[in-house]
Structure 1
């Protein structure tokens, strides 16, 4: 009887002790597996602030809590390509004066043999910029798609060599629609001949979900070793005129599964600069207008709201 009581007591004691071990607790297991990566450096796309000059833009971006600006250096941008040697230094100086380091810029660069493209990249490199988005390619009518991808991958390979010399990193953005790069497999193929350190992907989750539907995670898995910068924006499908279309909406109000997406970025250890885009109606600021029909405060509040939402979702993921 005593042996039986002892065995029962010992069993209860040992079971209780084992139950207290953290790795046997599902809750603690989940918490232990959850990474604690800090929210990445986040920039604001200057397309949405083209109603401001360089100094005013830099000051307001710093006040809103962003880490930097993804500056448009392209036709109809903050800096025009033909004026890059005169105006880009002014923009860079305004950023530094506001406590921001020039880092990201958005271009229409396509080739390492185009004189204007080369001059633009050389100027940006001298000023300390690091990452740029290049232009998109289109499928020619007189060429098969595989042949076009092979030809354009050679161009990108040439750009990557120029980038390496200039200590820059070029990025090709995936974009929904008929441009080359709506599919992550296209982007993967385009980058096949590029130097992986100086050329990669600007991953856009909004466009990935539009085109990828339920398979966007496969595309992310494919391209993740090549991701150099990340764009944040959201959308929902809407039937407004009898035809379904992707409608841009504030961050967290659309169809992007942010918690899953951010969990995967943490799991894959994707630590690259982020850039916030706001392409829903904002009085013209969403499309890069130099004159907007809403108060600038309305634009700033939207930016701060989406920035706060991004950080909130990152912490939850």
Structure 2
């Protein structure tokens, strides 16, 4: 168990946010109190069939849900959902600035998958402009476009004001990349910085990803914040709340990681 929580340093300029997937079934008022109690002032909301807000109910439920979060001092920074026009309209009505997606790879291979996702993004460009809601694309280890460079190539020549990169510390490290390279590469499109950490563990004859506390993995959060300072980034920092070991409650782990992130952000 984590015996004690470090005392967080004073707030910095960042919007300290959390992906609320661990509590996806909670209504907005309960979620807002929980998130604020953990020390966060922002949240990314899953809008999925398994969550309290679903794609089918988003038009009606999301605006009230986000106002309940705001009543607790928690500002919605994004939703994790799809790119249907109804999702853009719901996000706009709820004053949520971004829809986050990942670029998945299908059985037809990388090139065909990227081409298909590019068409999807081009088709959604009009909705982004009409509703004033950005599209954020996150690299993800595994059967997705997994690197910052890959996502930047996917977004090449699309309007910067509408298409952003959601940079992810764990997946950047799992790809073998260096934040001193990838963050400047993405600077013009940097919309959200996700913080989590991971290692590779050998199991059943294969190397598998294992998500850990922020101070224990392949990603060096101190280097990340040094680079963000150099870039004068002042957007949302979002802790993803993803941990492979369930023996410690996610809330305890997030308190520790938020304190650690705030600490290195002020160095």
TM-score by length of 1: 0.74
CA distance in 2, matches of 1:39, 1:255: 26
Query: Secondary structure of 1:279's partner?
Result: coil
Structure 1, unpaired ranges of 5+: 1-36, 110-116, 284-293
1:151 is displaced (CA, Å) by 4.6
> Contact 1:50–1:77 at 8 Å: present in 2 too?
yes
Pairs within 5 Å for 1:198-217: 198-213=162-177, 215=178, 217=180
**Pair 1:136 & 2:103 matched:** yes
1:140 is displaced (CA, Å) by 5.2
Greater CA drift, 273-282 or 150-159? 150-159
Query: Secondary structure of 1:267's partner?
Result: helix
Cα deviations across residues 214-269 of structure 1 (Å, max 9, x unaligned)?
A: x5543333222111111100112222444322210011111111111211111122
Cα deviations across residues 12-63 of structure 1 (Å, max 9, x unaligned)?
A: xxxxxxxxxxxxxxxxxxxxxxxxx934101111101225332111112112
Query: Secondary structure of 2:26's partner?
Result: coil
Which structure has the highest strand share of the two? 2
The residue that corresponds to 1:88 in the other structure is 62
> Contact 2:139–2:171 at 8 Å: present in 1 too?
yes
CA distance in 1, matches of 2:117, 2:209: 28
Which of the pair has the greater relative contact order for Cα pairs under 8 Å at 6+ separation? 2
Greater CA drift, 198-207 or 161-170? 161-170
1:130 is displaced (CA, Å) by 0.8
1:89 to 1:282, Cα distance in 2 relative to 1, 3 A: farther
1:244 to 1:169, Cα distance in 2 relative to 1, 3 A: same
1:186 to 1:63, Cα distance in 2 relative to 1, 3 A: same
**Pair 1:304 & 2:255 matched:** yes
1:46 to 1:194, Cα distance in 2 relative to 1, 3 A: same
TM-score by length of 2: 0.87
Pairs within 5 Å for 1:128-277: 128-139=95-106, 141=108, 145=111, 148-179=113-144, 181-213=145-177, 215=178, 217-277=180-240
Greater CA drift, 45-54 or 123-132? 45-54
Query: Secondary structure of 1:275's partner?
Result: strand
> Contact 1:149–1:186 at 8 Å: present in 2 too?
no
Kindly tell me the number of residue pairs found equivalent between the two proteins. 257
Structure 2, unpaired ranges of 5+: 1-10
1:139 is displaced (CA, Å) by 4.2
